[in-house]
Chain A
């Protein structure tokens, strides 16, 4: 079992997001926050599940420490991805942050019902978005102790 690194070992984050603009924006925001992370991207729900199951080209992909999940996704919806994740014994311990444009009560309630670890509506302005990403960094990647699993 490895010990938790402070900065030497990069933190793996899986961003499930279909909008390249948002992906870039998120990447830029993390960059602005000067956080050292490995941002891996899946552009739809199916790809996210393939990544998490180390299928195909993701056979050697690292297990993420945190998942940033959009809800409205092509192929497999973010809600389904969340449900499958939280039903999987090996994956359910990975914290999932729902990061979406939806502010609907139904989505918020449904997400927590499926054990989402937090729900964030994407702020519409850049400033707000940067603040959110900073908050994610400071809370989930600095304050919170995340479970680390031995790589086999």
Chain B
């Protein structure tokens, strides 16, 4: 529009300029014609003046001739011509006066001319009278006076002056007229040229504009064609336009493909036929157009009906089209068959439903897109109450925040950091109650951008059992401590009365053996034996309860020194049995001061105690195991142990031999196990009956505290 008005203005200006130029040229031409006319007029005028001057001159000469004839002849008939010419001369004088009225120079000459003419007539009249009265002589004498001739000469001189003046004027006017005509000629030529040029320019300009317009129109047509062919060629989308009343106005190939109608079948038909009868009954087609009118655009997904009556799940966008003044021109509709996507979604939904956990799919705006029945159950909502709602409604904290991109990471990256890790959060049911959950996030690429699938597991039970476990562990520890305490207290406090029983039964035995009857001796012997055994058990129990409970600081000690202390304690046993105890060089390790002595003592003691028929040989060595721990071994050539008892031998008061065979309560290895385990190590045995045993214990390497 703007271009058009600009074009008009240009054309108008050009034409205005041309017209103005023409007017100017016309004016100049008119002026030139006027000048030329004026000049003709002046030429005529000058000739008239000259003629009158000439006639006046002739008349005066006739007056003179008639006068002289009359005088010479005395013929009075001359007087008729005389008077007639005087009258003519007067007529000519009047004419000259009239003709030269605008010429001051000539007017100034006129009075002298008229005076001279009058004087001449007066002089002539006097002579004529003399002739008539006095005759020729008198007249001739009077004529001899030079006055008459003089007057005539002066008169003729003035006439010549006036003639000259008129000729001079004529010449001057001719020059003026020629100059002005010349100017007019130049102006005419220039003006004509300018006019022609302007007109030519205007014509060129209009031509150019109109040719430009034609080009633009051509291009527009091409572009429209391209666009149309593009739209027409779109196969995946039905793209068509509706008039304001909802009748189909255009139809592309995609529309034909998707909906099954050909353009000629559908154009002019109302678009409501794409809706199901139920939708039509509900007035949906109108509602959607209304929505597009009010909000500019409506987008829905629903079932659409094809020509053959089959339906497809469609994504439909209807946009209102308006002109620049806002008048509704119609609508464009773009729809797409998303049945396939729907299928994928359905598949995905099927997977979701099959999942054992509650699953919620959330978009990057933190809105719930999809959820499964478990989620409905757990949260107490119906599906439609949650879809489209903020996930914050069900997980108030810690979820939506994890989806947010910030300055340094995108939403996808933010999400990636959460993937695969269980996040413990609190979920809120519809009734407002909270419960602990663990969620696992995974991303889901979709047509709507990245979605997040959250598997939500109700961990109420787990939390309960965790708490229960913590409580149980606490209780166990307390109970263990109590047991420990009990073992110590019991063994210590039991020892006192037992010592009385044992001491006095022994005293009884010492003092009264053989002094009572044999039954009494036997009874006393059993009592003494029983109390002695019980003392052994209690003492061992006490030793066991003490083992590893010293709580002494750990520090680096020489295990070799510990071994030597143990051997010193066992000196009597070793000497008595003739045992040969050897050892490799042993490392310095970080451990408790005295406990290792007990371990060596018990193991070597056992090695000697459970000896075979051979001389007992015991070898102690140590080897590093992968830089993390020291493994000590105590190898003997004793009786050996059946592997089925490997576990049993470490249990409190468990023995493999009868009391008659070997003394002891079966506490030694239990104490070793307790000490080693308290130090963070482990103890085990490798053995075969009759082939000796090797007891191993591993102690961790650690820094001294």
Residues of A participating in the B interface, judged by any CB pair closer than 8 Å: 19, 21-22, 25, 28, 101, 122, 124-127, 129
Contacts and interface: CB of A to CB of B under 8 A. Distances in A.
Interface residues of B, number: 15
Contacts of B101: none
B495 interface: yes
A18 B465 CA distance: 52
A25 B503 contact: yes
Contacts of B502: 124-126
10 contacts: A21-B504, A22-B500, A101-B496, A101-B499, A124-B495, A124-B498, A125-B503, A125-B532, A126-B502, A126-B506
A125 B534 CA distance: 11
Contact of A101 (B495, B506, B532): B495
A19 B497 CA distance: 10
Contact of A19 (B496, B504, B535): B496
A126 B499 CA distance: 8
Contacts of A22: 500
B641 to A, nearest CB: 30
Interface of B: 492, 495-496, 498-500, 502-504, 506-507, 510, 532, 535, 539
Nearest to B505: A126
B507 A25 contact: yes
Given A25-B507, A101-B496, A126-B502, 20 more contacts: A19-B496, A19-B500, A21-B500, A21-B503, A21-B504, A28-B507, A101-B495, A124-B498, A124-B499, A124-B502, A125-B502, A125-B506, A125-B532, A125-B535, A126-B503, A126-B504, A126-B506, A126-B507, A127-B506, A129-B503
A21 B499 CA distance: 10
Contacts of B510: 126
Contacts, number: 34
A96 to B, nearest CB: 22
Nearest to B493: A101
Contacts of A122: 499
A26 to B, nearest CB: 11
A22 B507 CA distance: 12
A125 B507 CA distance: 10
A126 B539 CA distance: 15
Nearest to B536: A124
Contacts of A101: 492, 495-496, 499
B539 A124 contact: yes
A21 B501 CA distance: 10
B501 to A, nearest CB: 9
Nearest to B535: A124
Contacts of B506: 125-127
A122 B539 CA distance: 13
Lowest 10 CB-CB distances: which A-B pairs, in order? Answer: A126-B506, A21-B500, A126-B503, A124-B535, A124-B499, A25-B503, A126-B507, A125-B502, A101-B496, A129-B503
Contacts of B503: 21, 25, 125-126, 129
Contacts of A126: 502-504, 506-507, 510
A124 B492 CA distance: 11
Contacts of A28: 507
Nearest to B538: A124
Nearest to A122: B499
A101 B500 CA distance: 12
Contacts of A129: 503
A101 B542 CA distance: 12
Nearest to A128: B503
A125 B532 CA distance: 8
Contacts of B498: 124
Nearest to B503: A126
A25 B504 CA distance: 8
A130 to B, nearest CB: 9
Contacts of A19: 496, 500
Nearest to B509: A126
Nearest to B501: A21
A21 B495 CA distance: 13
Contacts of B539: 124
A11 B498 CA distance: 31
A70 to B, nearest CB: 11
Nearest to A129: B503
A129 B507 CA distance: 11
